């Protein structure tokens, strides 16, 4: 969309505009700058300036255009509702434009808003207007259309007039009912507005998981939610745990196409109607306020308790409650005149970036971490923040010695918003990302679809230490009381070299270490002995195989009697299992192809670590009378009514076990269209029952 040179020019211009009086510069440049930042925010999901700065630039443009109307162009950001749409996606026209909101930052702004409402509606100054106040959710906007009580389509906001089609994705979200009884209220077609958000706890979990898989983490829940709406595969949207809060009915007509919104007296009633229809809406988070002072007080209580709220909110929205008054106020091209966003103060502080530390993960990913002069931010002292990867550093042009603006984004992880260039004195150093591993000096590599540089030396000490820390952690073998500090001490003593050493410790030596009493050593030994009995799903996960998470480890463990069975598996055998993708398959195959890994597992087994499938590893039992109980099955060729994975899932539910090769062990082969060599092979074995897809369906459905 934007070329690199263009981005650079626009960033230079941004700095110039923010520093000086905008009217002294060219208005067309200001438009381009705004357009660029809209794109960064809404499409690229990577804002480079704060909302406050964006608003400042937007208002500058409005001021210039108000003074010189001749300068207004039809493509000015002030003349359209919002931003561009993502290339190559199919678009949906909204039934009514999805507008933005005007912003306010203090009580005086709100009082002016109240005065303007009274002017627009010819009400006396002493009148107490009724407002509905609700959170300003910080996620991704969506519009959802219901026709004849059924969800018919859903779209992102896009440019306000049309957005990206996300119907299939929306349908996966539990907070979005697939049907709702609109007709009961005389509504034939309705377009609902809402925000896709992610619960703060869920967000933390997603990032922990991504980090453990070597993927780049999301800077905040908004990016995770907005990106999640656009996933190519709807299942991925669902798995992200997105929830949709509805806050507006943008359009509603009856069978004859007549507007029925005037029949709903107030915004408060509208929201309650949506709640009644089964949608997620603000409940205790919203309030009908009588007069602007009540609005100001309610907003203040929310600004104070914002941290405790389960979702990210960046402010509150004040809406004139009465529908009749809303109609009198009307709209500008950009926002309704009857609504106003109140933006909370960002939790930001500035401090010095002293140095960069490069941390090496358990699979070798290098994460740059900024060491900061300690600074207080929303009650917490911040002295280091992750910089994620090289691109992050470059996009923000961070330098050692810079004064940087730090924000506690998502109330979870602090992050650097930008460096404050005005504070530079020329002594700052450009950050040179290392080309070799800081621990073992191996040349770093970067895969095309990954953000992180990686050290590929499996023997790298830093990596080994991280793998040991992970192996004993709660997430993996869960060895009670065996934390990072113990690993570091034992590693330095030379007692831990590889994972098998965890099960070969000399407890009498540990008991002699300072700070280790006899009792704690007994406890440690008991915990290690307990961990030896773990199900193999835990063991597999604890090996730090790139991308192999908990879920995939469990799925694989269901299929094997012994961990070393995996020596004989090829990538196809893995991908034949539902939910195992090619990347995991390739990595597990690579792991089990290495002699030293096999030797490691054998050593662990000799030390008493369980490598055999346990009851806990086995798949859920199906009844003996299930139609395919005890049978092995294989699908080949292309199926017409379902995907291969769906068919395999059905087979498992009916008691069968999917296997990947034709042999005498195979009971049933389901041959779809264009079945090839597997069918031929099966025909040669007379114990294999060969079924068509239809026969298979008939069999499992009794």
Taking the least distance from each CB to ligand IVH, the nearer of 214 and 336 is: 336
Distance CA 51, CA 305 (A): 21
Q: Which is nearer to ligand IVH, 248 or 270 (CB)?
A: 248
What CA–CA distance (Å, rounded) separates 352 from 400? 8
Give me the 611-650 binding string for ligand IVH, x by CB under 6 A, dash otherwise.
----------------------------------------
Site string for ligand IVH, 138-177 (x = CB under 6 A): ---x---------------x--------------------
Sole binder of ligand IVH in the list 35, 80, 94, 136 (CB under 6 A):
136
Closest residue by Cα to residue 410 from 317, 318, 306, 316: 306
Of the candidate residues 225, 231, 244, 341, the single one contacting ligand IVH (CB under 6 A): 341
Residue span binding ligand IVH (CB under 6 A) among the ranges 29-37, 336-344, 502-510, 601-609: 336-344
Under the binding rule (CB under 6 A), the answer on residue 552 touching ligand IVH is: no
Rounded to the nearest whole angstrom, what is the least distance from the CB of residue 336 to ligand IVH in the complex?
5
For ligand IVH, the closer of residues 331 and 491 by Cβ is 331
Which listed residue (136, 280, 286, 396) is catalytic? Answer: 136
- 409 burial level (CB within 10 Å; 0-12, 13-18, 19+): buried
C-alpha count within 13 angstroms, C-beta hemisphere, residue 31: 15
- State how far the Cα of 655 lies from the Cα of 624, in Å rounded to an integer: 8
| Residue 142 beta carbon to ligand IVH: minimum distance, rounded to whole angstroms | 8
| Shortest distance (Å) from residue 276 CB to ligand IVH | 18
CA torsion sign, 151 to 152 to 154 to 157? negative
Terminal CA-CA length for the chain: 55
Q: Where are the alpha helices (DSSP H) in 476-563?
A: 484-492, 507-512, 518-531, 536-541, 550-558
State how far the Cα of 405 lies from the Cα of 37, in Å rounded to an integer.
18
- Phi and psi at 366, nearest 5°, equal -100, 120
Minimum CB separation of residue 235 from ligand IVH in Å reads 25
CA dist., res. 457 & res. 596, Å (int): 14
Q: Which stretch binds ligand IVH (CB under 6 A): 132-140, 400-408, 518-526, 653-661?
A: 132-140
Can you tell me the distance from the alpha carbon of 637 to that of 672, in angstroms, rounded to the nearest whole number?
4
Neighbour count for residue 354 (Cβ, 10 Å): 14
Q: How far is CA 297 from CA 162, 279, 294, 316, 445, in A?
A: 37, 28, 5, 12, 55
Q: Which C-beta is closer to ligand IVH: that of 157 or that of 541?
A: 157
Binding of ligand IVH by 336 (CB under 6 A)? yes
Q: What is the Cα–Cα distance from 183 to 378, expressed in whole angstroms? A: 48
Nearer to ligand IVH, 341 or 609 (CB): 341
Q: Which of 134/411 has CB closer to ligand IVH?
A: 134
Task: Give the span between the Cα atoms of 355 and 429, in whole angstroms.
Answer: 10
Residue 702: CB partners within 8 Å, gap ≥ 6? 627
Would you say 134 or 576 has its CB closer to ligand IVH? 134
Interface with ligand IVH, residue 39, by CB under 6 A: no
Closest by Cα among 243, 169, 240, 242 to 205: 240
Shortest reach from residue 105's CB to ligand IVH, in Å: 14
Choose, by CB under 6 A, the member of 248, 365, 419, 553 that binds ligand IVH: 248
Catalytic residue check, 93: no
CB of 447 to ligand IVH, least distance (A): 35
668-671/632-636 β-pairing: parallel
| Least separation in angstroms between CB 33 and ligand IVH | 19
SS3 content of the chain, % helix, strand, coil (to 5): 40, 20, 40
Task: Determine the interface stretch with ligand IVH among 129-137, 203-211, 610-618, 633-641 (rule: CB under 6 A).
Answer: 129-137
Compare residues 42 and 386 and give the one whose CB is closer to ligand IVH: 42
72 to 111: interface string for ligand IVH, x by CB under 6 A: ---------------------------xxx----------
Kindly compute the dihedral angle of the four CA atoms of residues 64, 67, 69, 70, in this order, to the nearest 10 degrees. Answer: -90
Q: Are 537 and 616 in contact (CB under 8 A)?
A: yes
CA 349 from centroid of its chain's CA atoms: 26
Candidate segments 130-138, 182-190, 417-425, 499-507, binder of ligand IVH by CB under 6 A: 130-138
In residues, how long is the chain?
A: 702
Q: According to CB under 6 A, which one of 49, 196, 252, 339 is a site residue for ligand IVH? A: 339
Confirm or reject binding of residue 317 to ligand IVH (CB under 6 A).
yes
Q: How far apart are CA 679 and CA 676, in angstroms?
A: 6
CB of 341 to ligand IVH, least distance (A): 6
| Total of residues contacting ligand IVH (CB under 6 A) | 15
Place of tokens 């002493």: 126
Q: Least distance from C-beta 270 to ligand IVH, angstroms?
A: 11
The minimum distance between CB 305 and ligand IVH, in angstroms, equals 17
Which residue in the set 38, 191, 195, 243 belongs to the binding site for ligand IVH (CB under 6 A)?
Answer: 195
Q: Of these, 134, 191, 407, 576, which contacts ligand IVH (CB under 6 A)?
A: 134
Evaluated on CA atoms 324, 326, 332, 337, the torsion sign reads positive
- 3-class secondary structure for 406-451? EEEECCCEEEEEEECHHHCCCCCEECCCCCECCCCCCECECCCCCC
Interaction of residue 466 with ligand IVH, rule CB under 6 A: no
243 touches ligand IVH (CB under 6 A): no
Interacting residue with ligand IVH among 137, 268, 342, 392 (CB under 6 A): 137
113 contributes a contact to ligand IVH by CB under 6 A:
no
Nearest Cα residue to 224 out of 45, 451, 416, 418: 45
Question: In this structure, are residues 372 and 350 in contact, taking their beta carbons and an 8 Å threshold?
Answer: no
Decide whether 133 or 479 has the Cβ nearer to ligand IVH: 133
CB-closest chain residue to ligand IVH: 141
Instruction: Tell me, rounded to whole angstroms, the distance of Cα 661 from its chain centroid.
Output: 37
The pattern of x and - marking residues 562 through 581 that bind ligand IVH according to CB under 6 A reads --------------------
Q: Which of residues 661-690 bind ligand IVH (CB under 6 A)?
A: none
Minimum Å gap between C-beta 357 and ligand IVH is: 37
Measured distance CA(406)–CA(415) in Å, rounded: 6
* Nearest CB to ligand IVH, comparing residues 146 and 247: 247
Choices 228-236, 267-275, 335-343, 627-635; region in contact with ligand IVH by CB under 6 A: 335-343
Contact between 247 and ligand IVH per CB under 6 A: yes
Cα(597)–Cα(607) distance, rounded to whole angstroms?
A: 15
Cα–Cα distance, 562 to 132 (Å, whole number): 62
Relative to beta strand 366-377, strand 140-147 is unpaired
Structure tokens at 630: 């005890």
Residue 94 or 396 with smaller CB distance to ligand IVH: 94
* Residues classed as catalytic: 136
Q: Which residues contact ligand IVH by CB under 6 A? A: 99-101, 134, 136-137, 141, 157, 195, 247-248, 317, 336, 339, 341
């Amino acid at each position: 969309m934007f070329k690199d040179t263009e981005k650079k020019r626009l960033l230079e211009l941004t700095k110039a505009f923010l520093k000086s009086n905008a009217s002294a510069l060219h208005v067309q440049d200001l438009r381009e700058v705004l357009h660029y930042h809209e794109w960064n925010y809404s499409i690229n999901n990577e804002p480079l300036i704060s909302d406050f700065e964006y608003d400042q630039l937007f208002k500058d443009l409005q001021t210039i255009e108000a003074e010189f109307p001749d300068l207004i162009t039809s493509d000015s950001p002030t003349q359209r509702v919002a931003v561009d749409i993502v290339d190559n996606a199919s678009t949906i026209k909204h039934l009514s434009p999805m507008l933005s909101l005007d912003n306010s930052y203090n009580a005086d702004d709100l009082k002016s808003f109240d005065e303007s409402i009274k002017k627009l509606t010819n009400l006396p100054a002493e009148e107490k207007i009724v407002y509905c106040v609700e959170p300003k959710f910080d996620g991704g906007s969506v519009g959802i259309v219901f026709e004849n009580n059924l969800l018919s389509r859903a779209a992102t906001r896009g440019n306000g007039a049309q957005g990206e089609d996300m119907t299939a994705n929306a349908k996966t979200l539990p907070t979005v009912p697939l049907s709702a009884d609109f007709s009961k209220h005389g509504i034939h077609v309705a377009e609902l507005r809402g925000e896709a958000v992610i619960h703060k706890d869920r967000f933390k979990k997603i990032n922990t998981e991504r980090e453990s898989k070597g993927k780049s983490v999301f800077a905040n829940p908004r990016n995770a939610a907005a990106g999640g709406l656009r996933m190519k595969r709807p299942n991925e949207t669902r798995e992200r745990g997105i929830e949709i809060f509805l806050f507006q009915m943008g359009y509603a007509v009856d069978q004859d196409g007549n507007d029925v919104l005037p029949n709903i007296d107030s915004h408060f009633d509208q929201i309650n109607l949506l709640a009644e229809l089964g949608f997620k809406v603000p409940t205790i988070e919203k309030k009908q306020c009588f007069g602007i002072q009540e609005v100001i007080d309610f907003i203040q209580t929310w600004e104070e308790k914002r941290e405790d709220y389960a979702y990210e909110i960046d402010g509150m929205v004040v809406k004139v409650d009465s529908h009749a008054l809303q109609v009198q106020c009307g709209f500008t091209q950009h926002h309704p005149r009857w609504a106003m966003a109140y933006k909370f103060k960002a939790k930001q502080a500035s401090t010095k970036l002293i140095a960069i530390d490069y941390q090496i993960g358990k699979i070798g990913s290098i994460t740059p971490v900024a060491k900061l002069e300690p600074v207080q931010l929303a009650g917490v002292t911040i002295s280091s923040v992750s910089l994620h990867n090289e691109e992050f550093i470059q996009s923000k042009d961070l330098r050692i010695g810079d004064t940087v603006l730090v924000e506690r984004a998502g109330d979870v992880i602090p992050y650097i918003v930008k460096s404050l260039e005005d504070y530079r004195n020329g002594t700052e150093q450009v950050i040179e990302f290392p080309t070799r591993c800081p621990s073992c000096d191996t040349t770093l590599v970067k895969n095309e679809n990954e953000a992180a540089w990686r050290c590929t030396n499996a023997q790298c000490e830093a990596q080994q230490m991280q793998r040991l820390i992970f192996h004993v952690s709660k997430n993996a073998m869960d060895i009670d009381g065996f934390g990072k500090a113990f690993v570091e001490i034992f590693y330095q003593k030379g007692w831990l070299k590889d994972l098998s050493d965890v099960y070969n410790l000399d407890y009498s030596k540990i008991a002699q270490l300072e700070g280790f009493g006899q009792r704690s050593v007994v406890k440690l030994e008991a915990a290690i002995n307990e961990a030896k009995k773990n199900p193999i799903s835990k063991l597999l996960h604890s090996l730090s195989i790139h991308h192999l998470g908990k879920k995939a480890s469990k799925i694989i463990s269901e299929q094997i009697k012994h961990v070393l069975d995996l020596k004989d598996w090829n990538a196809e055998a893995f991908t034949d299992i539902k939910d195992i993708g090619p990347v995991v398959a390739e990595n597990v195959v690579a792991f089990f192809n290495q002699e030293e890994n096999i030797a490691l597992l054998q050593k662990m087994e000799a030390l008493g670590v369980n490598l055999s499938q346990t009851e806990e590893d086995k798949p859920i039992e199906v009844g003996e009378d299930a139609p395919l109980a005890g049978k092995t099955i294989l699908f080949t060729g292309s199926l017409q009514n379902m995907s291969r994975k769906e068919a395999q899932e059905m087979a498992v539910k009916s008691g069968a076990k999917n296997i990947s090769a034709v042999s005498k062990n195979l009971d049933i082969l389901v041959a779809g269209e264009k079945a090839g060599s597997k069918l031929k092979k099966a025909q040669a074995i007379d114990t294999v029952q060969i079924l068509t897809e239809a026969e298979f369906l008939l069999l499992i459905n009794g």
